Chains A and B, each alone.
Chain A
Amino acid sequence: ELKVEQNPLFLSMQEGKNYTIYCNYSTTSDRLYWYRQDPGKSLESLFVLLSNGAVKQEGRLMASLDTKARLSTLHITAAVHDLSATYFCAVEAQKLVFGQGTRLTINP
């Protein structure tokens, strides 16, 4: 059974700092997704990573995928308060399985 683990689960950081969220998964897959969720809201798609070595960037967020290590990272550069949210990775292997989520709080 596919297991997806994120760490850290909680992250409090200051504006302007850099940090990385990690997503490990247990079985072979070449499709990994990152989503953002604001409190009480739905899931906003951030990145779709489809192959080993894929790297995508949007603004202050950059995601990468290493299928051999079964690891994806979401890197935040020079964080701003607006990035405060819960971030989920999700891995597809016959069905989409989500990690536990990382609750990110960015303090001024």
Chain B
Amino acid sequence: DTEVTQTPKHLVMGMTNKKSLKCEQHMGHRAMYWYKQKAKKPPELMFVYSYEKLSINESVPSRFSPECPNSSLLNLHLHALQPEDSALYLCASSQEPRNYGYTFGSGTRLTVV
């Protein structure tokens, strides 16, 4: 298995909703990442987990809450989002060290209404 699987592929949520994005990989990668990508912009790093511990938080608002329950799974919990949070959310994973690069999932297209 050489893929990063993200679910759901599309999500529409209201500003008072609570939802979660899920990311899974079975490549034995020990680093996992969340990126946010607005239309016509490059991906921007949000969080990095290394060996199941949060190692980088790029000053992301607390309405985004990451969780890494085990080495294969990464979640992003969403609460009280704003319309400007609508974007493509990409999960990625990599080996440690990262000589073979990063594998990106297909993304979750999030719309906040």
Contacts and interface: CB of A to CB of B under 8 A. Distances in A.
Contact of A43 (B56, B90, B98, B99): B90
A45 B15 CA distance: 34
Interface residues of B, number: 22
A71 interface: no
A48 B42 contact: no
A88 B42 CA distance: 8
B8 interface: no
A98 interface: yes
B45 A43 contact: no
A24 to B, nearest CB: 15
Contacts of B98: 31, 92
Contacts of A41: 106-107
Contacts of B90: 42-43
A50 B100 CA distance: 9
Contacts of A20: none
A100 interface: yes
A48 B105 contact: no
A24 B33 CA distance: 24
B101 A98 contact: no
Interface string A22-59: 00000000010101000011110100101000000000
Given A45-B101, A48-B101, 12 more contacts: A31-B98, A33-B101, A35-B104, A40-B109, A41-B106, A42-B104, A42-B106, A43-B104, A45-B102, A88-B43, A95-B56, A96-B102
Interface of A: 31, 33, 35, 40-43, 45, 48, 50, 88, 92, 95-101, 103
